[in-house]
Amino acid sequence: MKRSLLHAAVLIGALATSFLVPAAGAAEAATASGEPAAVARPPETDWAHVQTRSISAGGVDFAYRELGKQHGGTPVVLLNHLAAVLDNWDPRIVDGIAAQRHVVVFDNRGIGASSGAPADSIEQMADDAITFIQAMGFQQVDLFGFSMGGMISQEIVLKEPRLVRKMILAGTGPAGGEGISAVAGVSNYDLLRALFTLQDPKQFLFFTRTANGIDAGKAFLARLKERAVGRDKDITPSAYVAQLRALSAWGQKKPADLSVVRQAVFIVNGDDDRMVPTANSYDLARRLPNSTLTIYPDAGHGGVFQFHALFVPAALQFLAR
């Protein structure tokens, strides 16, 4: 039965790829969405133009992008969600944080343009992320993990507590958390819905089906197309399946003792997250002793994207404290 589900996931992932390829005329799409087009900036100063670089460590060539290095201070390392590559990060969030902080975003092993076989456990993803961070020469970092990236962040801070100064955990949950082992079913169901309605799966997975949620989803998807040149490689079906295995195992794992995490943590989510149920954010806030929690109204898994204008200043304030 499990093998059949994995084969189905491969097929769905392959079919969905055609709906994840960015369309031509990104600037026009952004304007038509009702959100102002991004302000033109010189090359290398924003997410739409920064060069993708590579660093080799642990037998892997890690693809990454870096902004705001001139600010100095503790780098903010972004850890991504299920099936995501570099170009799945919202430009408003990356550029907003990079306006004041040193930001580094990377593809983990076997994802996007990074080499190697993709990891099939959250623990291995954390080990690979640590390898990347250490290869970059960072003595200490702030972690911003969204969804699966938030789970990886938790493993990193438990494995290497001295490496982490602060954490932002968005749309995520703890090991063994409510509904996490069911992410595959939710994701594949919405992939099918997207195929049949000719929409991007993230419109269903990340946003509510209210008028506000639908509009926010359209604006977000338009922003993801702003980078027209030098885009990342799509995730492969096999990498997607490996990540689903990792999430299933994480959802069935014995909960970790998060009381040992002394770092300050900013937890954020929408009030109607159907991928990683919002109850998990409340659970994290109860279990992490030095945490604060923000829940956005009429928002789903992608609450930070829907409310980027509120989230970015709050994140910068948290990181500056």
Domain definitions of the chain by residue range? 2-320
* 3-class DSSP assignment, residue 170: strand
pLDDT at 8: 46
Nearest CA-CA partner of 65 in 57, 221, 74, 75:
75
Strands across the sheet containing 141-146: 53-57, 60-67, 103-106, 76-79, 141-146, 164-170, 264-270, 291-296
Lookup: tokens for 170: 């968005």
User: Which of 158, 111, 125 lies closest to 259, judged by CA?
Assistant: 158
Rounded CA-CA distance 156/142 in Å is 11
pLDDT tens for the chain, residues 1 to 321? 444 444 444 444 443 443 344 433 333 333 333 444 444 555 568 999 999 999 999 999 999 999 999 999 999 999 999 999 999 999 999 999 999 999 999 999 999 999 999 999 999 999 999 999 999 999 999 999 999 999 999 999 999 999 999 999 999 999 999 999 999 899 989 989 999 999 999 999 999 999 999 999 999 999 999 999 999 999 999 999 999 999 999 999 999 999 999 999 999 999 999 999 999 999 999 999 999 999 999 999 999 999 999 999 999 999 999
Region 2-320: CATH code? 3.40.50.1820
Q: Is 42 exposed, middle or buried (0-12, 13-18, 19+ CB in 10 A)?
A: exposed
* Whole-number pLDDT of residue 45: 83
Angle at 97 between CA 96 and CA 101, to 5 degrees: 135
> One-letter amino acid identity for 27?
A
256 DSSP assignment: P
Contact present, 83 and 13 (Cβ < 8 Å): yes
- Tokens for 218, please give them: 């359209």
Predicted pLDDT of residue 28 = 32
Q: Who's near 31: CB < 8 A, 6+ residues apart?
A: 37
Q: How far apart are CA 8 and CA 18, in angstroms?
A: 17
pTM score, two decimals?
0.88
Helix ranges restricted to H, 170-236: 183-197, 201-205, 211-223
Question: Tell me, what's the pLDDT at 174?
Answer: 98
Q: Residue 18: its pLDDT value, please?
A: 34
Q: Look up residue 29 and give its DSSP letter.
A: H
Q: Per DSSP, what are the bridge partners of residue 293? A: 267
